[in-house]
Structure 1
Amino acid sequence: MDEIIQVKDQYYIQAASCLADDRTRVLKQGETFAVFDCRGDIQPIGRGEQGLYHEGTRFLSRLEFLIENQRPLLLSSTVNERNELLAVDLTNPDLVLADGNELPRGSLHLFRSKFLWQRHCFERIRICHFGAEPVTLHFRFRFDGDFRDIFEVRGMQRQARGQRLPARTDRDAVKLPYRGRDGVRRQLQICFEPDPIQISGESAELQLSIGPGEERNLYLTFGCLNDAELCRTGCYDVEFGASLRRMEGYRAQHCAISTSKGHFNEWLERSLDDLHMLFTETPQGIYPYAGVPWYSTSFGRDGLLTALQTLWLNPAIARGVLGFLAAHQAAEHCPETDAEPGKILHETRRGEMAALGEIPFGRYYGSVDSTPLFLLLAGAWFRRSGDRDFLQQLWPHLLRALEWIERYGDRDGDGYLEYQRQSADGLVQQGWKDSWDSVFHADGSPARGPIALCEVQGYLYAARRELAGLAEVMGDDELAARQLRAARQLRKNFQRDFWCEELSCYALALDGNKRPCRVAASNAGQCLFTGIATPEQAARLAEKLLSPEFFSGWGIRTLAEGSTRYNPMAYHNGSVWPHDNALIALGLARYGRTRQAMQLFEGLYHLALQVELCRLPELFCGFRRLPGQGPVLYPLACSPQAWAAGAVFQLLQASLGLEIDATSRKIRFRHPVLPPFLDEVWFRNLQVGNARIDLHLARYGEDVGINALHRDGEIGVVVEK
């Protein structure tokens, strides 16, 4: 995803401030997410992204909690381990009460907790009085709802907006309605308990009397409603229990991992809980939304790669992603959205601007790599699951994806997959590095399309091989043979056209004149995990990627230091992306370069120790790691981000050479290694088909011993050393 989405040069993410200094707190559930400040309020400060959002619209744009018209003092603030609850500890400043009495600072403990559930935000404020005298307290909440589309929040100016309707108040609630230009009537409803003593369309005041040693509670519910929907009025504890059961249900589906290293366990747990928070239920199953705040929606590429990262852990994620993308596969040619029959989705958006066509991203297909990744994941998923029934349902979509590749993706018939946008409002660059300036020649001049990216040819190579295997399962031997022939020819031509001897690296891309972009970029590293590289070139590329010009000490940069356009603070031209490094690590391990893969594993592990909540961000700056100094954060990075959260599971897979084949009921470890910071690993409830197994892995010098602790059903464990 790109730092600046160029749609007539209008869409920018403002960078006047950043997450690093705003100290925001994030919650997400389903189509709803919220960004709060560290006190649990919503303020129009920093980048201005704070708010409560639903389906691409910000319903609540301001929230301020006051006691006796003063902001409480912050004691602590965090999102709990499972990401369900924002917990904020506050206390009172020195106060003069309405009756003239004074309340010294620290007399009250105010515990503020919030969670999201079923398009609502539920809040409880528990007040504990540690003073010596009874007091009567006045609490005020100031609020507003601007109903801005998320692209407006990101910086786009609109020529016209919908209509804010007059606020309506009841005894215990206020309703803020808005009629959009898309004809949808959206409404923010705020309910209070106990009843306010004063309420308007801008604020509510509540009064509580509380004695020494007593507790009282305030409850607020914020409903993001469309048309005639009703606000939920359930009890806070009941609704929170339902939210917890959802998270517990996700955990029950996958293998549990624990290790001998407490800090690594924290990274694992936070990554897993971030994924659970980003999961959204669709009619086709689970889909991991890309990231909060800017990308809280379904992205094809992100969902596919996240599913690949977690495939060994839980194949249900991949099934949900494949099912959703099949259901949203392009059926016709539409230049305005870069859609062509058989093409797989880039992203889909809800909200007023998408509905009106003010942005092209309502259902947008400007991604060259989603379609081959769809085929690649389908093959990997079938090996992991062995589910023939779902493969049968998926098969027509796989054939249509192949038809798109051969008819539209390779228009000149040279065997390479290329892109050039059709929509004047679409993305200029349509690979994973989709910043406008991410594909260029060695002198810095932009590459002209159609563009064939190096890593995309690797995806295509792996996709053809995976499709060949699936064709054999489906009984189409002719298709299987044709795909294998095409894959072999692609691999041969790729070495001839992309390898740059002087760089010891594959060219970033071929431009429209088939001139190689002789730029050393991390894209070349992703060619390793797909297997398109020759062993000789893989060895040279591995040395290049771990050299100081690429490897910062935290990870591999997106662009080699010293290159034209190199900037360690650029989104795609010098930064470090955890998901990119995890894919490269998997590729290094594939070619027997496990020790180098471990350098990436160790770098990202130490990064996790340095960042808040052990949560890897979408990306961070590519400055060199220096003793005693932490990483330099990127100011606009999404956090959490799905494929950043999934990176740790792919790194562990790369370390252990882990492969699971449900069709043969085997778990295979190829040349397993544990990184220096891990001595023991336990897998519990690792499912292969209907069977389950618990495993213990332990380091013995340079070796790793693997023992089955419990086995339920037929599962073989093969260790190659």
Structure 2
Amino acid sequence: MTADTRIQLVRDATFVRLTTDGAITGSRGSAPDGLYAQDARHLSRWQLTVDGTDPVALVPATAETDDTAACVLSPEGTRDDPPAYTVFRRQSVDVATFTEHLRLVSNRPDAVSAHVELTVDSDFADLFELRADDRRYDKPGAEHDIRATADGLRFSYRRADWHADTEVVCRPAPDTITHARSGTRATARTLSWHVPLDAHGSAELHLTVHARPHGRPQRTDTAEQPSRRRASAQAEGTDDLSLACERGLADIDLLTIPVTGLDGEDVRVPAAGIPWFLTLFGRDSLLTSYFLLPYRPATAAAVLSALAATQGERYDAFSGEQPGRIVHETRHGELAHFRQIPYGRYYGAVDATPLFLVLLHAHHETTGDAALAKRLETHARHAVDWMLTDGGLDKHGYLVYDPDPGGLVNQNWKDSAGAICFSDGTQAEGPIAVSEAQGYAYDALLRTAELAQDIWLDEAYARRLRETAARLRERFAADFWMTEADFPALALDGSGRQVDALASDAGHLLWSGILDPRRAQRVGRRLLEPDFFSGWAVRTLAAGQRPYHPLSYHRGSAWPHDNAVIALGLARQGLTDELRTLTEGLVAAAARHAYRLPEVLAGYDRSATAGPVPYPHSCSPQAWAAATPLALRTALARS
């Protein structure tokens, strides 16, 4: 979980982050508050004052459910002059909507009047503007407009063909609407009410904010969504793993968003995480769906349809699009629309394409349904073609990527700058062949060969893929194995040198099967030694190396999903004791986070503190972390 104290509410691809008194302050950085829909902030200020002062939080805001929070506030008072009234505040979020209910209750035997003010603003900032990376984006011709309505305010933003609105509807309507005090943005407005309260009486204010993002309207259907029902029968039980599974399935429901699939069909897929990644991510959605396969195979079918619909068709250096390549992420914000960032449809991932093929076969293997494999045959063949050509298998012998200065320096799951490093901390230079992507490619080739033989009835194609996979496995054993360390290299750099940092990526090789069984078992046991295993989880880099940092993103922290893949690999290699040790650590970590695993844990040893140290910028909930307990359950069942 994040270390900050904000309250986060989420529902149907809309979320709001609030301070503990229910305010939105216009913050930026690692955890910006606000109301968000489709990559834009539709509320940047929402600050209440009572009788001219900031209210005192008698009971700080607490999330009662995933989409509703409440707090109790009052004006300033003293022991001899207690506050005249109390404010009971309840806030909730729904599809592109934020609602607030204020109930003012008089504490006195005589009539009193409350003066309530609410300062409101909508900056329509793109999520990428709010990150703490010091980037600034020009917005030529951008226009903000604020208009009073019969019952509130409407904020509008326009830039060329881009248009978005935020409407505030009040019951009762405010008595006055004025420019906010100095020190606020010019667009901020203050809504004021004088609220009469009878002796020990009460009054209510109802406020509704409608976010209207650019582009297709948010869906407003009221059909029961998964988060309204029990998560899954498979999660029943009271042991810690069962409770973590139940929480994880509920979080997947919270993160599920509507997208367009193949042939324009409407599908619902797990977005990657909140606050930064409430959108379709190729790698994240694929691994999340794989973890869920024995429990919710329909999620995999939806993700495969959505990714087939966005599969690369042309060459575009700006976005990294190439024919057959599976998308890394999609964005719907202003900066993506005007191509100021490459992420509208960004293809900077070396591993999403083979993982697409892995999931396609695994879906058929799990369900026995051949219809999806038949429907996506052309897309699968194009994905294989990409691996062989632009992906680098034919030319380099491996899947490779070159760092993208306008996008991602690293294009595997460890995609932060500096993550693919030598033992001295130096970042590898491209073309880079990361180890786990070769394992995915090997597995993808073999799985697709099975589809070709059994479903597509193309024996020649199946034979070609198997031969390609065998050659890849042979090369990998010769080029990646570090004899002295008795461990696989993290990567090969553009000169073919082994990138020699000891990293958790090696655990993915157990899952994909590219290592021979003897080496795989040695690697699995090595990952549970103290420099790798913190007692909670396997670290991304083994401690004691120069680049190790327990609070880094990918150089010493521990990721639940990374450990889920490792767990599945341990099960495949028959390392039952190691699997149970790893599972116990992860489940214990989940139990100390109310059974919700965060995106990342700090790499500190379990003996150092009573619970895992939070990584300060972690997304929570986050899809593949949420699905991790289900992967652990599957691994245990297979061991």
Q: TM-score, normalised by structure 1?
A: 0.81
Identify the residue that residue 656 of structure 1 maps to in structure 2.
Answer: 637
Counterpart among 406, 409, 424 of residue 428 in structure 1:
409
Identify the residue that residue 219 of structure 1 maps to in structure 2.
Answer: 206
* Letter paired with 2:226: M
Q: Is 1:374–2:365 an aligned residue pair?
A: no
Counterpart among 139, 147, 158 of residue 179 in structure 1:
158
> 1:371: Cα distance to partner?
0.2
Aligned-partner SS, 1:353: helix
- For residues 110 and 272 of structure 2, the distance between their equivalents in structure 1, rounded to whole angstroms, comes to 51
Q: Is 1:159–2:141 an aligned residue pair?
A: no
Identify the residue that residue 342 of structure 1 maps to in structure 2.
Answer: 324
Kindly indicate whether the alpha-carbon contact (under 8 Å) linking 2:542 and 2:548 is maintained by their aligned counterparts in 1. yes
Identify the residue that residue 644 of structure 1 maps to in structure 2.
Answer: 625
Kindly indicate whether the alpha-carbon contact (under 8 Å) linking 1:68 and 1:95 is maintained by their aligned counterparts in 2. no
Identify the residue that residue 303 of structure 1 maps to in structure 2.
Answer: 285
Counterpart among 204, 210, 223 of residue 191 in structure 2:
204
Identify the residue that residue 52 of structure 2 maps to in structure 1.
Answer: 69
Identify the residue that residue 79 of structure 1 maps to in structure 2.
Answer: 63
**What is the CA deviation profile of residues 628-678 of structure 1, one whole-angstrom value per residue up to 9, with x for unaligned ones?**
532222211111111111111111111121xxxxxxxxxxxxx4xxxxxxx
**What is the CA deviation profile of residues 566-625 of structure 1, one whole-angstrom value per residue up to 9, with x for unaligned ones?**
1111111111111101110111111111221122211122212323x4322211211111
- For residues 566 and 248 of structure 1, the distance between their equivalents in structure 2, rounded to whole angstroms, comes to 39
Kindly indicate whether the alpha-carbon contact (under 8 Å) linking 1:337 and 1:364 is maintained by their aligned counterparts in 2. yes
- For residues 536 and 543 of structure 1, the distance between their equivalents in structure 2, rounded to whole angstroms, comes to 11
Identify the residue that residue 184 of structure 2 maps to in structure 1.
Answer: none
Identify the residue that residue 614 of structure 1 maps to in structure 2.
Answer: 595
* Letter paired with 1:60: L
Identify the residue that residue 258 of structure 1 maps to in structure 2.
Answer: 236
Identify the residue that residue 448 of structure 1 maps to in structure 2.
Answer: 429
Aligned-partner SS, 1:614: coil
Aligned-partner SS, 1:418: coil
Aligned-partner SS, 2:450: helix
Alignment of 1:82-121 (within 5 A): 83-85=66-68, 87-95=69-77, 104-105=82-83, 108=86, 110-117=88-95, 119-121=96-98
Q: TM-score, normalised by structure 2?
A: 0.91
Q: Decide whether aligned partners of structure 1 residues 501 and 78 sit closer, same or farther in structure 2, where only a CA change above 3 A counts.
A: farther
Q: Decide whether aligned partners of structure 1 residues 582 and 131 sit closer, same or farther in structure 2, where only a CA change above 3 A counts.
A: farther
Q: Is 1:563–2:534 an aligned residue pair?
A: no
> 1:196: Cα distance to partner?
1.4
| Stretch of structure 1 that moved more, 108-117 or 372-381 | 108-117
Aligned-partner SS, 1:167: strand
- For residues 346 and 589 of structure 2, the distance between their equivalents in structure 1, rounded to whole angstroms, comes to 34
> 1:136: Cα distance to partner?
2.9
**What is the CA deviation profile of residues 485-527 of structure 1, one whole-angstrom value per residue up to 9, with x for unaligned ones?**
2222322222222112222321101112222112210001111
- For residues 243 and 633 of structure 2, the distance between their equivalents in structure 1, rounded to whole angstroms, comes to 15
Identify the residue that residue 501 of structure 1 maps to in structure 2.
Answer: 483
> 1:283: Cα distance to partner?
2.7
Identify the residue that residue 312 of structure 2 maps to in structure 1.
Answer: 330
Structure 2: gaps of 5 or more residues: 179-187, 262-266
Identity of aligned residues (%): 36
* Letter paired with 1:277: L
Q: Decide whether aligned partners of structure 1 residues 171 and 103 sit closer, same or farther in structure 2, where only a CA change above 3 A counts.
A: farther
> 1:54: Cα distance to partner?
1.8
Identify the residue that residue 193 of structure 1 maps to in structure 2.
Answer: 171
Kindly indicate whether the alpha-carbon contact (under 8 Å) linking 2:51 and 2:75 is maintained by their aligned counterparts in 1. no
Q: Decide whether aligned partners of structure 1 residues 216 and 539 sit closer, same or farther in structure 2, where only a CA change above 3 A counts.
A: same
Kindly indicate whether the alpha-carbon contact (under 8 Å) linking 1:346 and 1:366 is maintained by their aligned counterparts in 2. yes
Identify the residue that residue 542 of structure 1 maps to in structure 2.
Answer: 524
- For residues 277 and 530 of structure 1, the distance between their equivalents in structure 2, rounded to whole angstroms, comes to 30
- For residues 93 and 531 of structure 1, the distance between their equivalents in structure 2, rounded to whole angstroms, comes to 64
* Letter paired with 1:151: F
- For residues 296 and 229 of structure 2, the distance between their equivalents in structure 1, rounded to whole angstroms, comes to 10
Kindly indicate whether the alpha-carbon contact (under 8 Å) linking 1:409 and 1:419 is maintained by their aligned counterparts in 2. yes
Kindly indicate whether the alpha-carbon contact (under 8 Å) linking 2:259 and 2:268 is maintained by their aligned counterparts in 1. yes
What RMSD, in angstroms, separates the aligned Cα atoms of the two structures? 2.5
* Letter paired with 2:463: A
- For residues 412 and 388 of structure 1, the distance between their equivalents in structure 2, rounded to whole angstroms, comes to 30
Identify the residue that residue 554 of structure 2 maps to in structure 1.
Answer: 572
- For residues 198 and 63 of structure 2, the distance between their equivalents in structure 1, rounded to whole angstroms, comes to 30
> 1:256: Cα distance to partner?
3.7
Q: Is 1:288–2:288 an aligned residue pair?
A: no
Kindly indicate whether the alpha-carbon contact (under 8 Å) linking 2:14 and 2:93 is maintained by their aligned counterparts in 1. no
- For residues 79 and 636 of structure 1, the distance between their equivalents in structure 2, rounded to whole angstroms, comes to 20
> 1:166: Cα distance to partner?
3.4
Q: Is 1:51–2:46 an aligned residue pair?
A: no
> 1:424: Cα distance to partner?
4.3
Q: Decide whether aligned partners of structure 1 residues 46 and 332 sit closer, same or farther in structure 2, where only a CA change above 3 A counts.
A: closer
* Letter paired with 2:157: Y
Aligned-partner SS, 1:110: strand
Counterpart among 88, 112, 116 of residue 139 in structure 1:
116
- For residues 654 and 215 of structure 1, the distance between their equivalents in structure 2, rounded to whole angstroms, comes to 56
Alignment of 1:374-393 (within 5 A): 374-393=356-375
Q: Decide whether aligned partners of structure 1 residues 529 and 502 sit closer, same or farther in structure 2, where only a CA change above 3 A counts.
A: same
Identify the residue that residue 458 of structure 1 maps to in structure 2.
Answer: 439
* Letter paired with 1:247: P
* Letter paired with 1:90: V
- For residues 84 and 631 of structure 2, the distance between their equivalents in structure 1, rounded to whole angstroms, comes to 47
Residues matched between the structures, number: 619
Structure 1: gaps of 5 or more residues: 1-17, 97-101, 233-238, 658-670, 672-721
Q: Decide whether aligned partners of structure 1 residues 128 and 509 sit closer, same or farther in structure 2, where only a CA change above 3 A counts.
A: same
> 1:451: Cα distance to partner?
1.1
Kindly indicate whether the alpha-carbon contact (under 8 Å) linking 1:608 and 1:615 is maintained by their aligned counterparts in 2. yes
- For residues 498 and 216 of structure 2, the distance between their equivalents in structure 1, rounded to whole angstroms, comes to 56
Q: Decide whether aligned partners of structure 1 residues 76 and 598 sit closer, same or farther in structure 2, where only a CA change above 3 A counts.
A: farther
- For residues 227 and 558 of structure 1, the distance between their equivalents in structure 2, rounded to whole angstroms, comes to 39
Q: Is 1:275–2:252 an aligned residue pair?
A: yes
Q: Decide whether aligned partners of structure 1 residues 134 and 260 sit closer, same or farther in structure 2, where only a CA change above 3 A counts.
A: same
Q: Decide whether aligned partners of structure 1 residues 77 and 271 sit closer, same or farther in structure 2, where only a CA change above 3 A counts.
A: farther
- For residues 485 and 163 of structure 1, the distance between their equivalents in structure 2, rounded to whole angstroms, comes to 56
| Stretch of structure 1 that moved more, 575-584 or 194-203 | 194-203
Aligned-partner SS, 2:498: coil
| Stretch of structure 1 that moved more, 134-143 or 616-625 | 134-143
Identify the residue that residue 604 of structure 2 maps to in structure 1.
Answer: 623
Counterpart among 564, 571, 575 of residue 582 in structure 1:
564
> 1:189: Cα distance to partner?
0.8
Kindly indicate whether the alpha-carbon contact (under 8 Å) linking 1:162 and 1:178 is maintained by their aligned counterparts in 2. no
- For residues 375 and 278 of structure 1, the distance between their equivalents in structure 2, rounded to whole angstroms, comes to 24
Kindly indicate whether the alpha-carbon contact (under 8 Å) linking 2:126 and 2:335 is maintained by their aligned counterparts in 1. yes
Identify the residue that residue 687 of structure 1 maps to in structure 2.
Answer: none
Aligned-partner SS, 1:294: coil
* Letter paired with 1:196: P
- For residues 310 and 398 of structure 1, the distance between their equivalents in structure 2, rounded to whole angstroms, comes to 21
